[in-house]
Amino acid sequence: MTEQDILSVLKNITNPQNHKDIVESGIVDRVAITQNGVEVYLKINHAVKPLQNSFRKAIRQVIQNQLNPEINVETYVEEDTPQPVEKTVPLKDVKNIIAVSSGKGGVGKSTVTANLAAALAKQGYNVGLIDADVFGPSIPKMFGVEDEHPGVRQEGEKSWIVPVEKYGVKILSMGFFVDPESPVIWRGPMASNMLNQIINDGDWGALDYLLFDLPPGTSDIHLTVVQNITLKGAIIVSTPQQVAIADVVKGINMFRNDKINIPILGIVENMAWFTPAELPNNKYYIFGKEGNKAVSEKYGIDIIAQVPLVQSICESGDNGRPAVLDGNSIQAQYFESLAQNVIKKCK
């Protein structure tokens, strides 16, 4: 292993402030190989200061994962004035924190979260959205902000990460911080650390609703969210298809687990039927009809929305403008009624 090898694996870590890697951005000053292992010297300016711990952890992980699992890695930061860690209650000015999850991937969790956030903001609520899906962050694309960067606000010694704002929704996505093309093997562990920073150092201000778009299934990310903050409840998104519903039950069991104990606000049945644009009154139950009804009854969880499969919902996601913003369209009404039900459940 040479210093050059180390520098080339460090190029897998991205500086979210300019989307360049940390070597090219000058965050890595130099590296050295010593008898004790690898030493990495960092130059941290105030713009990337909130991310410094994530960088240090990521650096250790990429070197160990990609070069030598046994090697000791030390990181040193110039001008590293140790700060007393203030213990603040995370997200204390947020009234309702809601996790949106699904057992299976691709059932429309991000679409539902994006539209719910936009619907709540449209009604005048202060809304935040955390895209915690490190394996497939899609919120930036759905809001058309994939090229934007979160800002930094300095308050004395403390640096706050300023969310990107669009359609009245304050957004922070793992996609802003983690290069989607880097290997999953170290993205995973780095993700929980990064998510904690988004939660603790995000400049959210006072919010009525903060939504989390979680990755599918269960993961470290779920644990980070459920253990560190007080959730008002969870929403489970599913299609009516039987294979999706089997996973809904796993999701219910996770949230209702003794140690976690988070209320489930409801199930959103997405792709509940298909309606072609030219035959707006026709409903085709291509994934089965009311597939979630039995689960809803068995576990006493309301179905708080049924959203049809409509071409314009898919297109609006790709175009960076949630469908609910399109005035009086039929698809807008489904998400508006979801928002009403969520507001009721949070009272």
Ligand X SMILES: Nc1ncnc2c1ncn2[C@@H]1O[C@H](COP(=O)(O)OP(=O)(O)OP(=O)(O)O)[C@@H](O)[C@H]1O
Q: Rule CB under 6 A: say whether 105 interacts with ligand X.
A: yes
Calpha distance 144→275 (Å, rounded)? 26
Calpha distance 137→178 (Å, rounded)? 10
Calpha distance 37→213 (Å, rounded)? 39
Rounded least distance, CB 100 to Mg ion, Å: 9
Calpha distance 236→115 (Å, rounded)? 15
Calpha distance 23→29 (Å, rounded)? 8
Residue keyed to tokens 């969310």: 163
Among 159, 270, 275, 296, binds ligand X (CB under 6 A): 270
Collapse the DSSP code of 106 into the 3-class scheme (helix H, G, I; strand E, B; otherwise coil) and give the result: coil
Q: Rule CB under 6 A: say whether 111 interacts with ligand X.
A: yes
Q: Rule CB under 6 A: say whether 307 interacts with ligand X.
A: yes
Q: Rule CB under 6 A: say whether 138 interacts with ligand X.
A: yes
List the structure tokens of 238. Answer: 């599913």
Q: Are 164 and 171 in contact (CB under 8 A)?
A: yes
Among 271, 303, 332, 342, binds ligand X (CB under 6 A): 271
DSSP lists the bridge partners of residue 214 as: none
Among 1, 36, 45, 106, binds ligand X (CB under 6 A): 106
Q: Where in 192-211 is the site for ligand X (CB under 6 A)? A: none
Among 110, 126, 197, 296, binds Mg ion (CB under 5 A): 110
**Which helix or strand (DSSP H or E) is residue 169 part of?**
strand 169-173
Calpha distance 53→71 (Å, rounded)? 19
Calpha distance 218→91 (Å, rounded)? 23
Q: Are 307 and 343 in contact (CB under 8 A)?
A: no
**Interface segment toward Mg ion; rule CB under 5 A; list 44-52, 57-65, 78-86, 107-115:** 107-115
Calpha distance 137→126 (Å, rounded)? 22
**Interface segment toward ligand X; rule CB under 6 A; list 19-27, 42-50, 89-97, 98-106:** 98-106
Rounded least distance, CB 173 to ligand X, Å: 12
Site string for Mg ion, 306-325 (x = CB under 5 A): --------------------
Q: Based on CB atoms, which residue is closest to ligand X, 6 or 313?
A: 313
**Interface segment toward ligand X; rule CB under 6 A; list 152-160, 257-265, 294-302, 309-317:** 309-317
Rounded least distance, CB 102 to ligand X, Å: 5
Q: Based on CB atoms, which residue is closest to ligand X, 141 or 293?
A: 141
Residue keyed to tokens 């997405």: 270
Residues that bind Mg ion (CB under 5 A): 109-110, 138
Residues that bind ligand X (CB under 6 A): 102, 105-111, 133, 136, 138, 216, 270-271, 307, 309-310, 313-314, 317
